[in-house]
Chain A
Amino acid sequence: MTFLNYDFMKHAFVAILIIAPLFGMLGTMIVSKKMAFFSDALGHSALTGIAIGIVFGVQNANLSMMVFAVVFALLLNEISRKVMAANDTIISVFSSASLAVGLAILSKGGNFSKYSALLVGDILSISVKELWFLGGMFALTFVFWIFLSNQLLAISLNKTLARSRHMPIRLLEDAFAVLVSLVVMMSIKWVGILIINAMLILPAAAAANCSQNVREYHFFAVVYALFSGVLGLWSSYYTNVATGPMIVIVSALIYFGTYFYAKRYQ
């Protein structure tokens, strides 16, 4: 455990212990609701958020990122409800358009390199104060999950059926989208735009391969996320490679392992 001798490594370690289960848990619902495209688009919208913040002279990039992501998520939900075309096509259209606007603004005058760190993320730079924020987000998500995950599951299975049980479908879907956007935006600086969706999807997808019910699904998703998070951090320290990609590589290996396990034994 020598890699924990440094403070920045300790902080990163704690961050992983918070982010991994958070992502594992949210990932189960994103996979079940087939929202992988949605969360991917959300991650990319970070750049647009920063760009729009700059245009309007907002000093705090985190704030403009979050506000934009929430608005973007609600907008995507609204459009998916109204337009009949395939959901992933619509999301793709809006995501590419907003990303292009973001990149255009940020690259003006050749300044994009300033923001390229955001693409890969840097978990080693996390501060104690930011850890507290992440912890708060984790608590909020857990409470949300205790009270609302049943209904979200019910809605994902059949909306009309959920409606017959008087569930506020629209409100719950929007609340979930806002929650995902807040969690994604809070973690994007540490995890990186290119990798954040993999961290959401891979542990849940691997867990789905070897689970039969919702409890096993959550348990394995959280365990896989934690395992790949810690192993990724540890190995990145010794190989001098960025942490985010290392975590994703471990997750992907777990996914393939469970895939072949499921094929063979189930």
Chain B
Amino acid sequence: MKLIKTPCGLHCIKIIDFGVKFANEPVFEHVDLHVHCGTLTVLIGENGAGKSTLVRAILGEIPHTGKLEFRDRKDGELQKIRIGYVPQKLNIEKNTPVSVYDMMASYHSKVPVFLYKSPRLRKKILEALSQFEAEELIDQQVCNLSGGQLQRVLLAMAVMGRPHLLLLDEPISGVDMKGSQLFYKTIDEMKKKFDMAIILISHDMKYVAKYADHVVLLDHGIVTQGKVGQVFKSPEFERIFGKGEWEHDISKL
């Protein structure tokens, strides 16, 4: 992966007292979270614990209480935040004539893709793809990509917008073991080489144990958070995930 910028460690994103309600039932409440550029924060929790909803609230897609602050710690000034997002999956059928170029251009450019293929934009897209070794995919149809290929394309697309914060929503589903390994390695490299903070929803405790800088356990609110060891050895973790299954991963911490 090409080096763009080293993380400065001076950006701080604060999620302050976030809460979301669906039909007057709280999905989660009082979520406070601080993330810094150059770090990987992983959200874990059972299905329905509110992980995806939290991500969607951070994106501003659903109404929520609380606020999101983004500060440059050097001068303490509030800044407007750019957020990148890597979805779980795309809403695309087999046989849909949309190429990787079309998709990336539709999100990042006003040049109408149905009319004209801009060489300048193509170069920019190739550059973004090359950071994830995916240049050769530019003219392929999105619906024909394998899980791993699509992931790399989606990462390249998210990074193209030079986000301060990157949100990844369980992107490992539908990818084989080797693909998952590669994905986590890529994320690990990204946090070192790009100036951004990463929040990832994950179910795979083995990789969480290995790569996370900060773990947040959700169950309709933050139950506990901290370093991997702290969270994995907490009674809350045992209550939610049970004991036996993760012992091997925990013993290595």
Contacts and interface: CB of A to CB of B under 8 A. Distances in A.
Contact of B97 (A150, A151, A213): A213
Contacts of B95: 208-209, 262
Contact of B85 (A164, A207, A209): A164
B59 A164 contact: yes
Given A154-B106, A165-B161, A160 B56 contact: yes
Interface string A143-155: 0011101110110
B85 A214 contact: no
A142 B83 CA distance: 32
A102 to B, nearest CB: 32
A160 B53 CA distance: 11
The contact size tier of chain B is: 35 or more
Interface string A189-212: 000000000000000000111011
B98 A153 contact: yes
Contacts of B97: 207-208, 211-214, 216-217
B99 A161 contact: no
Interface in B96-150: 96-99, 101-103, 105-117, 139, 141-142
Interface residues of A, number: 34
B90 A157 contact: yes
A149 B112 contact: yes
Interface SS, A side? helix
Nearest to A157: B90
> Can you list the 5 inter-chain pairs with the closest CB atoms, starting with the nearest?
A211-B97, A164-B85, A213-B99, A217-B97, A153-B106
Interface of B: 56, 59-61, 83-85, 87, 89-93, 95-99, 101-103, 105-117, 139, 141-142, 161, 167, 169
26 contacts: A34-B93, A145-B112, A146-B115, A149-B114, A150-B109, A153-B106, A154-B106, A157-B90, A158-B87, A158-B89, A158-B91, A160-B59, A161-B85, A161-B87, A161-B107, A163-B61, A164-B83, A165-B161, A208-B95, A208-B96, A208-B97, A212-B99, A214-B102, A214-B113, A215-B115, A217-B114
